[in-house]
A and B are shown apart, each in its own frame.
Chain A
Amino acid sequence: MTQESSTALKTGQMFINFGPQHPSTHGVLRIALTVEGEVVVKADPDVGYLHRGIEKLFEARNYSQGLILTDRLDYVSAMPNNLAYCLAVERLAAVQPPLRAQYLRVMVSELTRIASHLVFFGTFSVDMGAFTPFLYAFREREMILDLFEMLCGGRLLYSYIRVGGVSADCPAGWEEKCGEFITFFKPRLKDYDTLLSFNPIFKDRTANVGRISAAQALSWGLSGPNLRASGPDYDVRKAEPYCVYDKLDFTVPTGKTGSCWDRYYCRMLEMGQSAEIVLQCLDALAGTACLPAGRELPPGEIMAKGVPKILKPPAGQAYAHIEASRGDLGFYAVSDGSPTPYRMHVRGPSFLNVAILQEILAGCKIADVVAVLGSFDIVLGEVDR
């Protein structure tokens, strides 16, 4: 931990280890800070404290076993990980999931996005010294987890989206419960605004802190809300629609200044959009949305026909990427015709979001380090893999 000794530094400069055990690092990230008085001169993110060798482990598992590893990448929002993996493998094996499964996939991804942004809302407010929003955020999150539990039995890690479809159709009463939750949830967003978003102390601590220009964000490869807070409205759901996103009506919220507050507020707005998407999907499942003739969604049709238990995709490669809760998540799969992948590469958004810290943190005050780090909403499981 202390390879860099403080004797090598100039007078007046001090070396501080931020992490790996620190309540605000959201896991086990270490940032080696060099400070001069209150100001950070140099910041070096040190990743790898949660390196589990997931990419290598894919090569020792067959395609359906590999699915459970994807849950454990970005464990705060597990569904989109399943989805990206399955899309890549489906592309490789030329499998087309049925339409109902696609709607269910979109729905659970958007519910997960809400749950994940709620965790961000809660932990970010705790980082800023406000504990109450955390309790509200987790109250709502537990409701989403209840829905998932009804659907597939898991609370946190689901493996619900499978290659070729989803593992189960929604049980009786699930759709009503989901509708009830959205009706309950939408007004809560206003509560959050009054609770935290426009609180003067919170705004003082986050607005104009850790600003990222659009050019900077693009050149560091940011994606997701972190990129959109700086201005560019790149969203994979719009740019390269997958599943049924091209049939759904939603907007992509963007920020202006790229400050911590913008990143925060982008996520709050996204939750509202996700709620809209879920409602539209519910309509489609109930058959009230105008689907083309003969394209209604019969219950029970959730798995593509003829997907073998042990999948052996033909030799080749495929890449699929989606808009996960934290940004552009991609899976690159290479097959050599055997039951296990030859190579599985993950393009994790959090990893790239961590990289920009070294540029943004230099020049910040020490107290702002936590604000900047919290506003990126990184998940170390995905950074270190």
Chain B
Amino acid sequence: MGIILDNLPKIERLPGGGIALTTADFLINWSRNSSMWPLTFGLACCAIEMMAAYASRFDFERMGVFPRPTPRQADVMFVAGTVAKKMAPPIIRIYKQMPEPKFVIAMGGCANCGGPFYDSYSVVKGVDRIIPVDVYIPGCPPRPEALMYAVIKLQQKIRLMKVKNGHGATPLQSAGARKLV
């Protein structure tokens, strides 16, 4: 399986055999959070820091984060940059094209709340006005390390998801807060 079984919780090894027992929740969540494939999707300045995170020094791939060019293969969307009003409909469309379960990380002040353009006439003041967001990263731009920390936080969140609860990490999400109207 590629992981050291003995160190993990909820794993029970049958004596003498190559069989291990675990819960479905654990197995599903483990496979989900070990390979978070983000969408290659940069909006503005923050996207350059996102690129830096993929590149040599930070090497995002060692965390299983490997960019995919199409939303249909992506698990997580990094909204890296300013969301202009003209860009809002395509973002919703891209979000809808991603298969479930899907997660969103809002990177930078702009994606959180409008950032330096809080009083602009053409900027959506926070991407959470149009799609649900799982993790927010403050900063303008956040450093690549901050993006990595956000992915770790998201992985922690995913570990809390339960099949019983309809895959929500929080009661609110289980009740359908992730659904777009």
Mark A residues whose CB is within 8 Å of B: 1, 20-23, 26-28, 48-54, 56-57, 60, 68-69, 71-72, 75-76, 119, 122-123, 134-139, 141-142, 145, 155-157, 380-381, 384
Contact = CB atoms under 8 A, between A and B. Distances in A.
Q: Taking each of B40, B82, B94, which has the highest tally of chain A beta carbons within 10 Å of its own beta carbon?
A: B82
Interface of B: 39-45, 47-49, 51-52, 55-57, 67, 69, 71, 81-82, 84, 86-87, 89-90, 93-94, 116-117, 119-123, 140-141, 143
Contacts of B87: 20, 28, 49-50
A104 B39 CA distance: 39
A50 B48 contact: no
Given A1-B93, A138-B55, A155-B49, A52 B82 contact: yes
A377 to B, nearest CB: 13
A57 B120 contact: yes
Given A28-B87, A49-B87, A50-B87, A138 B42 contact: no
Contact of A21 (B41, B81, B119): B41
Contacts of A136: 56
A57 B57 CA distance: 36
A52 B57 contact: no
Contacts of B39: 21
B45 A51 contact: no
Given A156-B49, A156-B141, 15 more contacts: A20-B87, A21-B94, A27-B43, A48-B86, A51-B84, A53-B120, A53-B121, A53-B123, A72-B45, A76-B48, A137-B55, A138-B52, A142-B55, A142-B56, A156-B45
B155 to A, nearest CB: 25
B86 to A, nearest CB: 5
A342 B123 CA distance: 22
B45 A157 contact: yes
B48 A156 contact: yes
A138 B144 CA distance: 13
B82 A138 contact: no
Contact of B48 (A52, A54, A75): A75
Contacts of B52: 138, 141-142, 145
B112 to A, nearest CB: 15
B18 to A, nearest CB: 38
B44 A27 contact: yes
A23 B69 contact: yes
Contacts of B47: 27
A53 B121 CA distance: 7
A139 B57 contact: yes
15 contacts: A20-B87, A27-B43, A27-B47, A49-B87, A49-B90, A50-B44, A50-B82, A50-B87, A53-B120, A53-B121, A54-B117, A57-B119, A57-B120, A76-B48, A145-B52
Of A22, A28, A51, A135, most buried by chain B (CB within 10 Å of CB) is A28
A68 B69 CA distance: 32
Contacts of B69: 22-23
A60 B48 CA distance: 27
Nearest to B93: A1
Nearest to A138: B55
A266 B169 CA distance: 52
Nearest to A385: B122
A119 B48 contact: yes
* Across the A-B interface, the 5 shortest Cβ-Cβ residue pairs: A138-B55, A75-B45, A53-B120, A139-B56, A23-B69
Contact of B117 (A52, A138, A141): A52
A56 B121 contact: yes
B43 to A, nearest CB: 6
A119 B123 CA distance: 27
Contacts of B45: 71-72, 75, 156-157, 381
Contact of B42 (A27, A52, A134, A139): A27
A381 B141 CA distance: 14
Contacts of B82: 50, 52
A141 B52 CA distance: 9
A252 to B, nearest CB: 27
Contacts of B89: 1
Contacts of B81: 50
Contacts of B41: 21
Nearest to A57: B120
A384 B48 contact: no
Contact of A60 (B55, B90, B119): B119
A50 B84 contact: yes
A334 B167 CA distance: 57
Contact of A135 (B44, B48, B56, B121): B56
A135 B93 contact: no
B40 A23 contact: yes
B83 to A, nearest CB: 9
A26 B45 CA distance: 11
Contacts of A49: 84, 86-87, 90
Contacts of A48: 84, 86
A122 to B, nearest CB: 7
Contacts of A23: 40, 67, 69
